[in-house]
Each structure stands twice: as C-alpha cells, then as structure tokens.
C-alpha cells in the first residue's frame, strides 16, 4: 500500500514498535507481517492471505489489533461493556476492571441503571445512597489515573435509563464541561417513553433497588431537557434501548444495557467486540462499484476478524468467556464520502442514500454467508442455540439478495458469529488508508498544517484536487480560500455542479445526515457511529426534530454536535469575525495598548501575601501581573509563567471562565484560608482573583472600567462564523466526526 506523509507520521508515532530508546523497530511491511502471522496462528497460507488483505488497503482492523498483535500484551479488542450492580463490591470491582481495560488500550461502557437512586435507604449501613452520579465521578477520576496504552486516556460511555429516578440530574450532569471529562453520556430511551412524548403524557420513574414506582415525570419535559442540553454542548446523546434489544442476537443470554464509548457497539455485560473496516473508495471501477471485489474483501475480512478472537488475550476471564461464547465481530466501512466524490454523487441526495443501503446490504449478506460457512467448518458460536438465528427471528429486507434462503441455511448449519457488522469510528486507520472517515461526509476539503519554522502547508482532498485540475481551476490562491473554511459553497470561482458534489459536513442539513445513518443502519447488526453536525445558529427545535427523525427512521442512537457549542473551543480554521473578515487559522493575541487600567487584589496563600493585578483595554481583560513578597528563584519564575500565559490567553479572546477553570483547584502542600475561602495553591489564587474580577464586573460594581467579555464568542455571534478546537499535539483544527474528536493531521483522537 502506498502510504502518504500523514500516514507514515501516524504509524511512526502510534503503531510501529519501538525499542527502549524510542527507536523504530518496524516499518509498514514489518508491522503487517507481525499482525498477519499472529492472527493466522501459524497457518502460513492464512498468513499470506491476511498480509495481502492488509497491504492492499482494502481492509484494516481496529487500532488495538494493529498495535498489539504479536506483542506481549496481545489485547486486540477496542470495546468492552462492564456490569455494575447495586453494591459497593460490584461498583469498585468495575472500577478496577475498567482500569485494567484502559491500561490494555480498550474503552469501556457502563449502565449505571442498576444503582439505587440518591437518598434511597441503605439498610446495611442505616444510611442513604449517594446515587449513580456520585459513583460516575469515581469512575471518571479512576480513568484520569490510567494512561491508555501509553498514548491516550481511556474513553467511557455511561448510560442511564429514562425511567431512573435520578434521570433529571443525569441529563444535566455535564452542563459544567469541567465535569466527567472522560465520559460520553447517553440516555437509554424506551418505546413507552417515546409514546408518552408523542402523547404528552406522564410516565413512571422506577427504583432499580425495589422495582417499585417512586414518582412520575412528564415525558415531553424530560425530552425537552435532553434536547436543551444536546443543543448546549452535544451531551447527552440518546440510545433506543428497546430497539437495540429487538436486534439482540442472544436475548436468552441477557439484555443489552450499554454500548461502547462511541455508541456503535451495543454489548451484553462482560462482552467485547473486535472491529475492522473496508475501504470503499478503492472499490470504484470507472463510474460503478466492483461488487464482486467487495464480496471477496468481505469474506477475507470476516476470516480475519474471526481469527482475531482466537488470538486475543482478553483482560478479564469473564470477558474471555463471553467473547468466545458469542464471538461477535464488527465489520464496517470507511471511505464513503470519497466514493461519492469519485462517482459524482452528492452526499445529500436520494441516490447516495439508496447506494448506501445497497452497499451495506451487500456487506452484511456476504458477511453472514461467510460466517455460516465458517460455522460448517469450525462450529457455530457456543450460544447459537439460544440465539434468534436458531429460531429464525432475524429479519432483513431484500434489495438484491435472497435473505430467506440464507436465513434458512443459517438455522440449518449455524453461524460462527453472533454479530458481524458495525460501522465504527475509523479515526486513525482511515488516515493510514488515506480515505474519508467511516460513513461521514468530508469535514473539510482543505486544511492548513503548520510545519517547521512556522511554514504553512495546505493539505487538499485528493479527489477534489483532481477535479480542480481537470477543470483548470487548481491554483494556490483558490486552495488558500478553500482552506479558510474547508468548504466551497461561498466561492464564486467554483462551478455549481462541483459545489453539489463536493459537500462537507456543515454543507449538509441534519436531515440528510440522519437519512444516511438510517440507510446504513438498516443492514448493520450493531449500530452506526456518526455525528449529526449542526451549524452554530441551529435552534433547539432543530435538535428536537433531528432526534425525532432518527427515531422514526430506525436509528439505534443519535450523537449531535452544534458547531462551536463546546466551551473549550477557540477560534480556529476558517473563522469569520463579526465584521465578516476571514481570520487566520491560528489564534493570534491582540496588541497590548500603551495605557491599560485595572485593579489589584491581595490574597493570602501558603507561600505568603500575593498581589494579583488584572488590567483591561477597550476589548476587556488583557493582562495579569502577579507579585509575592520576597519570594524568588523557581517560585517567582512559576508565578511569572502563570501570569504571562494567562495574559496571552486573555488577549487571544479565550473566555475568562475557561482560564479560571484551568487554574482553580490546583493543589500544593501549603493550602491557606483567605476570607473564608481555601486557597489551595498560587495557581488557585490567580484563578480566584480572576473569578473575583469577573464577579465585580457582572454585579455592576466595576462600571469605571470599559470592560467587555468574550465579544467574539457571544451566543449571538454571526451564524457564518465557524469555530473549532485545536489539536493539543499539533494545533491543527479538530474535526467532530463519528462521535469523536479527530485531528486530520497527526492522528490525535478523543472519543
């Protein structure tokens, strides 16, 4: 496979083995040889087949398989679900087990629904329960302490059912974005609840401890709160648990309570799943798709993923037992947007939606057919007699395949894997394959990357670049304009037919995002990881309509993101200021004026008297100075560093609230009380000084200073403004795709 510069960088940093000094021990061929030989388990013929499959670029497994196959860890699965029962033993056993999974490179999902509600009586201690949210914070703190695979922190999913008595508190528990930073949250939605929403009725809240009704809530009010919070910052998402359990392949084994961190893999407690994706963009043959080749790739990919189960060393014995009893795999796709570019089909079109269903049906049918053949050779998954396959309850609508015949044969011969298809985030593996992520539209057609000595390079989607070249439009000036927003809708130089084809995530209405998700979901055993992108000026009603449409069209869950809604976003690529002037990709601090005005506060710290001066210019707070008694040396240097960086942030239009959150609560060994408040460190003191300053302004006691805050990030900002987070590793714009944050430049991701 021909690797791009970005692919090589990602592989060097995150995948290739290194010695103790950090020197590379592998290249592409050595890595895929290691993986192929290990997964083949010593079978030379299989090993050669798997090597060819990986080197072709048609298929790549999930990252843990590429990283860990053939090394001591040998933990090859990406996603796990752990049970939490209503006891301290179970809760802290789950904390320990989650830590072990995060250490091995996996993510975890939990249902907190079995935990009794807050203030419920605990008979064993004659006290009251603190409720699921308090324990959610314990899990979050434990995740902070474990660095996942040496490269990133573990990701978690927390689900609480809509009929839990603490549901209202759970819905808003991430209103403060400083809280629960290692968790994605979703509400478990039932069919009964959706009916109550439709009819504006109350529904019962049920204590998980006693099973008794303990109250009622109005369904529309609860649904409205979910929508309001999703509009504010994208959380919580929703999962349709009843719908998920209708497709549960082994209902006699247990009920599905939770999903993995990105929501696309519903799992029973103590289950795991290994994932992989087919690169659809390589299957374009002229103006059509090579379905024969697709079928061949699916069959080889199923062989690979099934073999992964045999070679996996699962982190816990109970997970090992469940994984081998159900043998779930999740084969998905990537490169969907690039395929549409090649075929000149708009993403937001009936033609694209129909093609999505046709392709996914072909993948699903070929996968099940091959799994049936493997069952004839090696045996069905052990829980097959308890599955819906054995009873003939599985359903698929036919487009071009004889499902009735296949399902009859599965009942007769068995099937090797309880599930076969999942559309998972493809994050870094799509970068390695040089294709678009999962089934998402392209987030940006061009982006700027800053390299050595501040040089800026423009990276352009290869299919878009080829189209520009073919029409004689490829110029550095045009690419610069495209990179400023990532989209071409605003450019008069681009013909309309190209604008129709080369759509990006923010060019596409939420309705088409959801219709596409539903098309893939119709032929996917598990679920689809996808972000429904909204513009900054989207209304609460827009979010509500999207949730309702997702329910109507058969989706199993929804993740939404309104551009710029997360407080930790800062102005970045393609931003348009309120004046309409397009800004540079990176944030630059404004110049300090000759004269500033401000106030000085005195605070008592464990190191002595601290004096914090905060000055303002015409746009608001612009600088901080910190002085402390006779302190010198390292302590003085640290205080100066805090002041300089805080000043830089203020002049770069970072919200004061955001700076306060970073500084407050930092602890040292010498805390000190100051006017009834504990100051835990010098950094905490600066944070409290900023908080006092902000409080004075908001109370109106600061009228003498021309103080304006966050004008560039106000809620009534112009809807054309685009904002985005910056990658912490390379400062490139982060994309919100597949339920995750992803850097298109260096491969950093966070789910």
Q: Which residues pair with 741 in a beta bridge?
A: 736, 750
Cβ-Cβ contacts under 8 Å for 422 (sequence gap 6 or more): 264, 265, 273, 275, 330, 331, 332, 524, 525, 526, 527
Identify the CA nearest to 424 among candidates 275, 564, 320.
275
The tokens describing 567, both together, are: 């407080």
Stretch (H or E) spanning 623? strand 620-628
Cis peptide bond prior to 559, omega within 30° of 0: no
Are the C-beta atoms of 83 and 90 separated by less than 8 Å?
A: yes
Identify the CA nearest to 419 among candidates 580, 546, 586, 244.
244
**Total count of residues recorded for the chain:** 751
**Cα separation, 505 vs 599, whole angstroms:** 45
Choose the catalytic residue: 79, 262, 555, 751.
262
Are the C-beta atoms of 252 and 262 separated by less than 8 Å?
A: no
361 is catalytic: no
Give helix then strand counts, H and E, for the chain.
25, 31
Q: How many CB atoms lie within 10 A of CB 152?
A: 15
264 is catalytic: yes
Look up tokens 């299957």; give the residue.
Answer: 283
Checking DSSP bridges between strand 749-750 and strand 735-737, what pairing results, if any?
Answer: unpaired
Look up tokens 């608001």; give the residue.
Answer: 620
**Cα separation, 403 vs 399, whole angstroms:** 9
Look up tokens 């829980």; give the residue.
Answer: 383
Identify the CA nearest to 654 among candidates 600, 601, 711, 578.
711
Which residues in 166-294 belong to E strands, given as ranges?
183-189, 202-206, 213-218, 237-240, 258-259, 266-267, 271-279, 284-285, 288-289
706 is catalytic: no
Which string of DSSP letters, residue by residue, matches 139-168?
HHHHHHTSEETTTEE--EEEEEETTSTTHH
Distance of CA 321 to the CA centre of its chain: 28
Choose the catalytic residue: 235, 264, 623, 738.
264
The tokens describing 297, both together, are: 């790739």
Q: Which residues pair with 608 in a beta bridge?
A: 605
CA atoms within 13 A on the CB side of 250: 23
**Cα separation, 522 vs 502, whole angstroms:** 26
Task: Taking each helix axis as running N to C, give the angle between helix 132-144 and helix 88-103, from 0 to 180 degrees, rounded to the nearest 10.
Answer: 30
**Cα separation, 75 vs 104, whole angstroms:** 6
**Cα separation, 508 vs 440, whole angstroms:** 11
List phi, psi (to 5°) of 550. Answer: -60, -40
Are the C-beta atoms of 337 and 375 separated by less than 8 Å?
A: no
**Cα separation, 250 vs 373, whole angstroms:** 20
CA atoms within 13 A on the CB side of 348: 16
Are the C-beta atoms of 138 and 93 separated by less than 8 Å?
A: no
Choose the catalytic residue: 38, 260, 270, 326.
260
Cβ-Cβ contacts under 8 Å for 105 (sequence gap 6 or more): 63, 64, 67, 68, 73, 75, 78, 148, 149
Q: Which residues pair with 562 in a beta bridge?
A: 534
Active site residues: 260, 262, 264
């Amino acid at each position: 496979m021909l690797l791009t510069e970005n692919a090589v960088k990602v592989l060097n940093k995150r995948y290739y083995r290194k010695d103790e000094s950090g020197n590379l021990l592998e290249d592409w061929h050595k890595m895929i040889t290691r993986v192929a030989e290990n997964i083949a388990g010593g079978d030379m013929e299989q090993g050669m087949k798997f090597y060819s499959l990986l080197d072709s670029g048609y298929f790549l497994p999930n990252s843990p398989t590429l990283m860990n196959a053939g090394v001591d860890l040998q933990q090859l699965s990406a996603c796990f679900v752990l049970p939490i029962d209503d006891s301290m033993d179970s809760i802290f056993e789950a904390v320990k087990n989650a830590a072990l999974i995060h250490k091995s490179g996996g993510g975890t999902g939990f249902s907190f629904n079995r935990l009794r509600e807050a203030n419920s009586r605990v008979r064993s201690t004659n006290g009251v329960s603190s409720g699921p949210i308090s324990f959610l914070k314990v899990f979050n703190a434990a995740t902070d302490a474990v660095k996942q695979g040496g490269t990133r922190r573990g990701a978690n999913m927390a689900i609480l059912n809509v009929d839990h008595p603490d549901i209202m508190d759970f819905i808003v528990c991430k209103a403060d974005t400083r809280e629960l930073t290692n968790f994605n949250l979703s509400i478990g939605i039932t069919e009964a609840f959706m009916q109550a929403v439709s009819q504006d009725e109350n529904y019962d809240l049920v204590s998980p401890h006693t099973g008794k009704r303990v109250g009622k809530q109005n369904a529309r009010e609860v649904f409205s709160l979910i929508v309001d919070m999703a509009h504010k910052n994208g959380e919580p998402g929703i999962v349709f648990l009843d719908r998920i359990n209708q497709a549960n392949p082994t209902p006699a084994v247990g009920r599905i309570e939770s999903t993995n961190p990105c929501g696309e893999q519903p799992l029973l407690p103590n289950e795991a799943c290994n994932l992989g994706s087919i690169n659809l963009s390589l299957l374009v043959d002229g103006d059509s798709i090579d379905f024969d080749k697709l079928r061949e790739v699916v069959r080889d990919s199923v062989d690979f993923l099934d073999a992964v189960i045999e070679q996996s060393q699962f982190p816990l014995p109970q997970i090992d037992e469940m994984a081998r009893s159900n043998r779930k795999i999740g084969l998905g796709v990537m490169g969907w947007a690039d395929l549409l570019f090649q075929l000149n089909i708009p993403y937001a079109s009936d033609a694209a939606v129909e093609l999505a269903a046709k392709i996914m049906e072909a993948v699903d049918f070929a996968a099940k057919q091959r799994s049936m053949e493997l069952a004839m050779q090696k045996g069905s998954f052990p829980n097959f007699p308890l599955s819906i396959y054995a009873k003939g309850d599985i359903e698929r609508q036919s487009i071009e395949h004889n499902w009735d015949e296949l399902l009859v044969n599965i009942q007769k011969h068995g099937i090797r894997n309880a599930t076969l298809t999942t559309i998972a985030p493809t994050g870094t593996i799509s970068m390695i394959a040089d294709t678009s992520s999962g089934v998402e539209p392209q987030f940006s057609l061009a982006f700027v990357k800053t390299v050595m000595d501040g040089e800026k390079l423009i990276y352009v989607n290869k299919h878009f670049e080829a189209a520009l070249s073919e029409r004689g439009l490829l110029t550095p000036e045009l690419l610069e304009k495209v990179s400023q927003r990532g989209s071409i809708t605003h450019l008069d130089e681009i013909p309309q037919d190209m604008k129709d084809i080369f759509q990006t995530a923010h060019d596409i209405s939420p309705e088409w995002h959801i219709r596409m998700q539903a098309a893939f979901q119709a032929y996917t055993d598990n679920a689809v990881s996808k972000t429904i992108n909204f513009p900054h000026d989207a209304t609460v009603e827009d979010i509500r309509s999207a949730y309702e449409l997702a329910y109507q069209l058969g989706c199993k869950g929804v993740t939404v993101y309104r551009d710029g809604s997360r407080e930790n976003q800062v102005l970045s690529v393609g931003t348009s200021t309120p004046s309409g002037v397009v800004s540079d990709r990176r944030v630059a601090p404004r110049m300090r004026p000759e004269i500033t005005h401000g106030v000085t506060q005195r605070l008592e710290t464990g190191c002595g008297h601290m004096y914090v001066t905060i000055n303002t210019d015409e746009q608001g707070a612009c600088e901080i100075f910190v002085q402390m008694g006779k302190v010198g040396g390292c302590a003085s240097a640290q205080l100066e560093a805090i002041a300089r960086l805080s000043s830089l942030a203020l002049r770069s239009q970072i919200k004061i609230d955001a700076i306060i959150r970073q500084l407050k609560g930092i602890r040292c060994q010498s805390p000190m009380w100051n006017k009834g408040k504990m100051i835990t460190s010098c950094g905490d003191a600066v944070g409290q000084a900023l908080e006092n300053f902000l409080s004075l302004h908001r109370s109106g006691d600061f009228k003498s200073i021309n103080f304006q805050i966050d004008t560039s990030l106000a809620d009534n900002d112009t809807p054309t403004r685009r904002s985005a987070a910056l990658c912490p590793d390379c400062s490139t714009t982060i994309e919100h795709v597949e339920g995750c944050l992803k850097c298109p430049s260096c491969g950093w991701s966070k789910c």
